[in-house]
Chains A and B, each alone.
Chain A
Amino acid sequence: MSKNLILISILIVLFSFNAFAKETNNWKGIINPIEQEDWSIAKASHLLERAGFGGTPEEIKFIYNLGHILAVEHLVNYEKLPTKHLLRFEESNIHDPGLINFPPSRPATTKLAKETGEALGIKVKESGNRKMQPIVNKFFFWLRASRLETQRVAYWWANRMVNSPRPLEEKMTLFWHNHFATNETKVRDYRKLLLQNETFRLHATGNFKELLIAVAKDPAMLYFLDAGQNVKGAPNENFAREIMELFTLGVGNYEEKDIREAARAFTGWNTNDLEFIVNKDKHDSGQKTILSHTGNFTGEEVIDILLDQDAAAIFIVKKIYKEFVNEEVNNIIIDQYAKILKSNNYQLKPLLKTIFLSKDFYSTENIGSHIKSPIELVVSTYKKLGLNKSPGIPDFNQATTAMGQTLFWPPTVAGWAGGSSWITPALLMERGNFARSFLYPDIDFIPKDFYSPDPKIIVMHDAIRNGSDITNATKSSNGGESVMMMAEGNMMADRDEDFNTRYGSYRGWQMAVSKVKPIPRHAAEINFTKMIIDSGAHNTEEAVDYLINRFLTVKINNKKRIMIISFLEENLGTNNIIDAKSYLEDSIRMVVHLIMSQPEYQLG
């Protein structure tokens, strides 16, 4: 793009931005499409914010130039856009067949070892102290390794969000991750979570019914909701409850007996490692009555019954509307959209297109009304800066965790509450601190993902390295002993035991960090001087306005703007950008930090 073109596009951005502040329309609640003459840079920016993670002025210009119909087409019918440059997740070599059917707990593992002489593919030692130690070590190895690898999967996904030409595909994948919330802490197998992530992506904007069936057969979900314990004669209601309460209908649209009966239909649904299986002998094929339908239903038929309820389409549409349009919903528009979803047999694209073309979507009340989740905030920040991947410092997962969200670790099966619950006073400050953390990378950054968060392990590590026996190392890792206790401890130095859990935890950590590939730790490379010079800004006012327009959907008020302009001017010792060109960088960084610390920066 030539300088002139950029300048023109900036002027357009500025113009429409100012116009937006004054303009109000009365489009709220109207699902009819906007007209070409309504289309503007501001609306293109809004579309890209919501159907994706926002973008640079150039990317917004591209969407604008397509016109509203083709723009929505481009974002929703994304299958033509090549994603070959997006690499598949590069796995560390941590899994082996011994880890298949990983027991639910350490006691279950050692119990299995005791009973069968083997667990996790390792035999119990014939004789000697701590005969099961290698098994316990491997148990903890896998806990740590899967957790670290899941953090790598999260990084890989974050990079996709930043770099995919199909932002809606990633955004909907994120949406389904929240809707069908599954947590690594229970699943404890990155492979299952990766598979689930790919399933969400495959069905991201496809058919909700197909997605729901895929999720019902998804190994991570089946494990997460205790499918293995749902058997004929002793049904476990966990999955049946969640499918009604959280996935399709919502509380109040079913009764407890519907859950009990539906659980029977899902009996025998299980996984064999990464494959879905039905244990026929554990399936209850008897007659069930669910939501007034009676028959000897299978799981798939239950899903049919659920999605046949009007409440189901309303439930899904409401959730989509809240995420993509506005946290505040009105039932009239929800009913209209629910009809569209249902009449299209739960195909999502017709619904999404209608939403993204509607006047309601572009109504004044709905622009800049969305509080970004921590993931959206970080990804959109990187996108607006024009980065094509997440930096390694700050760590993506640590940064979002500090703000309250961790990919693959939703807090409960209900997912993240979203909306205003993202914001607490301290978390709002944390969001500003995030901006600072990539503008001024920590020079004492420690990749915490590779270090035990448990100080006991570090103490154990030191004690073992210095030649302590396992018993005493364990004791010192408990924080040391009083003199009296120490004497008692010495009497029983290095106890004879089947295994030592703390040592296993420590050794497992070592084994995990030896095998899991590290996350690259590059800092963000951004040239703000070039950004400002290329923008054509001549003075501090133009530079600040450029940055405000580039980064904020909702404008800060003029007092604040003037404060920032004078700050820049004072800092540069001049209001002339060209004169200050050689030392612009740090001052602009401070301005970017100030802009990104504004409450308005949380909105998209």
Chain B
Amino acid sequence: MNNSVNRRSFLKTATAASLSSLIPMQYALSKDALNGKTLVVLELSGGNDGLNTIIPYADDNYYKHRPNIGIRENKLLKIDDYFGFNPGIVGLESLYKEGNMAIIHGCGYDNPSFSHFTSMAYMHTAAPNSGEEYGWLGRLADHMAPPTHKNFIINIDKTQSLAVRSQKHVPIVFDQPQRFQREGFFVQKSILESVINANNVINNNTAQNFLNEIASSANEASSVISEAWSNYSRRVDYGLTPIDLDKIAALIEADVPARLYYTSFRDNAFDTHVHQPNLHKRLLTYASDAIRGFMNDLDRMGKSQDVVLLVMTEFGRRVPENTSLGTDHGSAGPMFIIGASVKGGHYGEIPDLVNGLDDGDNLKYTTDFRSVYATLIDKWLKVDSKSILRKNFQTFDIFDRTV
């Protein structure tokens, strides 16, 4: 532990001292997608209620909109004289206090969709109100690394997220490391697991070669992942539900060559239409404990400078509470970028709870969510974000800790 802390502070000093000379070098290296930086995305599915996550307690309008479920000033975890955290997120509060958590306010897009499915697809593709076959992380991978760079994207889920769908890469998608395997009788095992390269086939069938490649990477990934998982032991507290961040930590510790990770708090958990307060608080506690644990784990393994975590959701919730002590689908909400390389604090314009609402009582966005993606792409991964997002977006100086 001591070692990694020392390393961390050394790196911080080194970065501060020679920032300008380091960046071009890293950029040159990033041609091979190996600037050493890793991005982890955590999706809070169901539409997290941003207003009850980061609470503008100093704004009376908040309590007017939420007479019953508004969180009182004396219950919340104060950040400053305007905002407070939901009382459930002690873990995030500590990260914020350490200066490692950036809150980007009012993230959304034009003509918001109130469908989980549609809005999430927009977030996944970074293409609101239009169709895009591949996910933003998939396109990023296509741009960053050749397909020969195996296991570049890892998506922990039952099915592949649209966010990681890639034209050239094969995202490793699995749910439970111990179940990422073929079902079969014991006697069949050796044949099921053997992949014989089809190189000696006379006709040059690219699809067949591709499938054999996947089959071998499936077997490899399956063994890499189960090996990483069995070598890993959870030595920090992730709280009650690690939301698969421990699996990601295991893979990072095992030096799996992935640079992009995707996981989610699944099954529309944050869809808090009824009796929201305790439920929402509990969900946030799970998420926040897991994030805190993940960051501690990265520290433990001396990798905290190399990894940042983006926390996103498909939409915020309606500003006024509903009649069932809950909230309905809304629009804009905050996103978080967390990590030891992050310059913590507030970014983006804070939405106005009076003039910043549309006819349906939803927040008008103040930050295009793609600005957050662009910030990560340009400034963390050092890739030109325009080639991924099709347009230039404003970016934030989130990783410049010297300013």
Contact = CB atoms under 8 A, between A and B. Distances in A.
Interface in B135-194: 159-160, 162, 165-167, 170-175, 180-185, 187-188, 191-192, 194
Interface in A190-225: none
Given A425-B221, A425-B222, A497-B323, A560 B194 contact: yes
Nearest to A436: B183
Given A185-B115, A241-B129, A593-B184, A599 B275 contact: no
Interface string A459-503: 000000000000000110011011001000000000001111110
B322 A371 contact: no
A502 B211 contact: no
Nearest to A370: B207
A411 B123 CA distance: 13
A555 B181 CA distance: 24
A501 B170 contact: no
Interface stretch (A70-78, A315-323, A344-352, A427-435): A427-435
B82 interface: no
Interface string A535-561: 000000000000000000011110110
A144 to B, nearest CB: 15
Contact of B133 (A417, A423, A424, A600): A417
A259 to B, nearest CB: 10
Given A413-B131, A432-B182, A557-B198, A186 B115 contact: yes
A238 B129 contact: yes
A424 B318 CA distance: 37
Contacts of B278: 478, 481-482, 485
Nearest to B179: A426
A436 B183 CA distance: 8
A551 to B, nearest CB: 15
Name which of A369, A412, A436, A563 has the most chain B CB atoms within 10 A of its CB.
A412
B34 interface: no
A365 B214 CA distance: 20
Given A186-B118, A417-B165, A478 B221 contact: no
A420 B185 CA distance: 29
Contacts of B274: 474, 478, 500-502
Interface stretch (B90-98, B324-332, B345-353): B324-332
A367 B205 CA distance: 9
Main secondary structure of the interface of B (DSSP, over half): loop
B117 A424 contact: no
Contacts of A555: 201
Contacts of A402: 159
Interface string B204-223: 11111011101101100110
Contacts of A110: 323
Contacts of B184: 432, 436, 593, 597
Given A238-B129, A424-B171, A557-B200, A600 B121 contact: no
Contacts of A500: 274, 324
A529 interface: no
A590 B185 contact: yes
Contacts of A429: 180-182, 218, 222
B117 A183 contact: yes
A135 to B, nearest CB: 13
B145 to A, nearest CB: 16
A457 to B, nearest CB: 12
Contacts of B115: 185-186
Contacts, number: 193
B208 A600 contact: yes
B323 A417 contact: no
Interface string B313-350: 00000100011101011000000000000000000000
Contacts of B196: 556-557, 559-560
A241 B218 CA distance: 39
A423 B217 CA distance: 11
Nearest to B118: A186
B235 to A, nearest CB: 28
A474 B326 CA distance: 12
B180 A564 contact: no
A24 interface: yes
A59 interface: no
Interface string A19-51: 001101000000000000000000000000000
Most A Cβ at <10 Å: residue of B115, B159, B267, B318: B159
B328 A107 contact: yes
A567 B191 contact: yes
Given A241-B130, A328-B206, A424 B324 contact: no
Contacts of A412: 118, 121, 125, 131-132, 162
Nearest to A328: B206
A105 B173 contact: no
A368 B208 contact: yes
B222 A427 contact: no
The 3 closest A-B pairs by CB, nearest first: A425-B218, A414-B131, A599-B211
Interface of A: 21-22, 24, 105-107, 110, 183, 185-186, 237-238, 241-242, 245-246, 327-328, 364-365, 367-371, 401-402, 404, 411-414, 417, 420-421, 423-429, 432-433, 436, 453-454, 474-475, 478-479, 481-482, 485, 497-502, 554-557, 559-560, 563-564, 567, 571, 590, 593-594, 597, 599-600, 602-603
9 contacts: A105-B328, A186-B117, A327-B207, A365-B204, A421-B165, A425-B217, A426-B175, A436-B183, A599-B208
